[in-house]
Chains A and B, each alone.
Chain A
Amino acid sequence: MSIWIHEESKVLIQGITGKQGTFHGTKMDEYNTNVVGGVTPGKGGQFVDLPSKKVPVFNTVAEGLEDTKADVSLIYVPARFAAAAIVEAADAFHEKGGGLIVCITEGIPILDMVKAVARVNQYPEVRLIGPNCPGIITPGDIGGSKAGIMPGFIHAKGRIGIVSKSGTLTYEAVAQTMSVGEGQSTCVGIGGDPVNGTGFIDCLDAFEKDDQTVAVVMIGEIGGSAEEEAAEWASKNMTKPIVGFVAGSTAPPGKRMGHAGAIISGGKGTAAEKFKAFEAAGIYVARDPSEIGNVLVKALEDSGLR
């Protein structure tokens, strides 16, 4: 039945009265996502017009949760306030027994994230996705549920789970599954920052346990060692096939490639090492993102799923 976000999920938007918040709130509503309200300090009591309905604005996340019973909070707050927004949402969800926080914001100071993630990790029932990510989407029969900025129309309900550090490259992976007639269970963008919430292993674990998902596409990029650790974990714990790609084979060392976390430093975090780890773990490797579809077909056939 997909992971972490479902067609019934109620989504609150922190920063809903801002330009980004209103724009994407509108797109989410058009996709049939159940947007139940928003939070902007000082604007409590106002309403925001979405295509299908008017939703209330609250001063705090706690008030918003009390009133709407939301189970997802999506953050479009500017970088300098975003970590505080994550902490506020984490505390509020903790009071209510749990929830999902999705932070889209790019450019949050890294030590702010170190502190915010420490707080979120105190609450096992609260999950953070991001920051600096496209969000999470579960396609449904008509539209679906999306907490993020991805274009809804490229997706379709199906049985492939997708997890990725990148935004547009995730869309590429989605298009690849569609090109071979496969839809998606859930697509998660974990983001390109060096310190984030949910990682590859959390996603693989959830996809392994999800009965709608039969195979996973995992998209990594240079920097850090999350891909290697995920591959190692998968070799011991995953029964479902994984198709993997890593971006940045041609990236020079010591240069940040757009994402704050995409940097080869001290000779570590290269794409070559990550591809090697994938192969060692029995992951089906695509060297070219345009090949993900074909490699996925092979993985499904090998597992008797096609």
Chain B
Amino acid sequence: MNIHEYQGKILFKEAGVKVQNGIHCKTVNDALNAYDLLGSKVVAVKSQIHAGGRGKGTLYDIETNDLIMEGGVKIAFSREDVGKYAENIIGRKLVTKQTGVSGKIVNNLYVEAGCSIAHEYYLALLVDREKKSILIMASTEGGMDIEEVAEKTPEAIHKIWTHPVDGLNEKDALEMADNLNLEGNSKQDLVSMLDSLSKMFVEKDCSMIEINPLVRSDSGEMIALDAKVSFDDNASFRHPWREEMRDQSEEEEVETRAHDHGLSYVKLDGNIGCLVNGAGLAMASMDVIKLYGGEPANFLDIGGGATRESITTAFGIILEDDNVEGILVNIFGGIIQCDMVARSVIEASNELGLKVPLVVRFSGTNHVEGKEVLDSCDLDVHTASTLAEGAEKIVNLTRSVE
């Protein structure tokens, strides 16, 4: 689960990480009031969406698609500027490197007091899967895309680790400060910030905290000018407060609906829908469709606990996608029984009025019974005994549609 920058900064403040004063706004009027309240001549007017690259993004009108403004984060030098920028941002579509061409509609704005910047840094905390610990990663190249830094100057990225059991080692934090060439109160600020963030990461069950840029002000203070915070969904049960921070307009409705039915669904751009049990086999099914010259329309894992009801929902979700011209069902029965899937597939196809070709491949538990059920029904179903055969059949069937 992701949250907005303004929400991340509330958590930062609680954790003892220095941030500028700022106010969350929903309207142009809010933004003007925020400017008056903050009492800072220069303020930043920042689009709030769950995607990075906002500063370099572009705003478009949602109806006409006309270009409204370059840059989703603006520095305002007057009250008029604030009004103008807020007007250009709220209710517009922001397209960034991370949103894809469809962009995201900006419903929230953050107006933040300006800050005199001496230098910009990059700082991130995330789970290191290989070291099985929490990685703290920083660079003196703030404001830049970290992937680009990692590619071009990997030596500019400094790393230390903090373990949730032992906590952050002060020696490591001091070493990080030295690597970033920080001295005096800036050094002390960073060490205390790393400690606060390490604790927050564990207490809130984060999966990532990214601050880009982290800045050193003219007076030497270390301030988080950005806040990108993601949480581990598996730990949501012990953080009921997260519900209040959830912005459902930022989530894919169909993915959430699938999740509520015990399904795991990701929409893709192709024309062949897939319904598979198991995440690895679902990915492999997509790969093999592609290998035979087709394009998968989705990833869909029905899981080991699938029922008639969840399979009907899964079929419905696949068919909602107008690009779908054929469906491949690939089941390797373990706990799940192929004949149950066969009956569910027939039921769902009848209920939803299936009009596209359907190929079913069964293996494992009750695959013979499953095939018998399919063979004796009125539905036009093609069967296959291997994944390759199934993929080849559905690719050919969708080709002949064109």
Contact = CB atoms under 8 A, between A and B. Distances in A.
A97 B289 CA distance: 49
Interface residues of A, number: 63
A158 B299 CA distance: 34
Contact of B279 (A195, A245, A258, A271): A258
Query: Chain A interface secondary structure, helix, strand, loop or mixed?
Result: loop
Interface stretch (B104-112, B188-196, B230-238, B370-378): B230-238
A164 B278 CA distance: 13
B364 A224 contact: no
Question: Which of A111, A226, A288 has the most CB atoms of chain B within a 10 A radius of its CB?
Answer: A111
A130 B40 CA distance: 54
B284 interface: yes
A114 B284 contact: no
22 contacts: A110-B232, A111-B164, A111-B232, A112-B235, A114-B127, A114-B164, A134-B334, A151-B335, A166-B281, A168-B280, A170-B280, A175-B364, A222-B283, A248-B287, A251-B286, A256-B266, A257-B266, A287-B291, A288-B291, A288-B387, A288-B388, A289-B288
A289 B387 contact: yes
A250 B286 contact: yes
A257 B279 contact: yes
A287 to B, nearest CB: 6
B140 interface: no
Contact of A109 (B232, B278, B281): B232
Interface string A133-171: 010000000000000011100100000000011111111
A99 interface: no
Interface residues of B, number: 54
Interface in B27-47: none
Contacts of A255: 266, 299
Query: Chain B interface secondary structure, helix, strand, loop or mixed?
Result: mixed
Given A109-B234, A167-B334, A194-B127, A249 B281 contact: no
Interface stretch (A65-73, A261-269, A295-303): A261-269
Contacts, number: 170
B271 interface: no
Contacts of B132: 113-114, 117-118, 195
A281 interface: no
A169 B130 contact: no
A168 B268 contact: no
B129 A166 contact: no
Interface string B270-286: 00000011111111101
A107 B287 CA distance: 25
B254 interface: no
B280 A249 contact: no
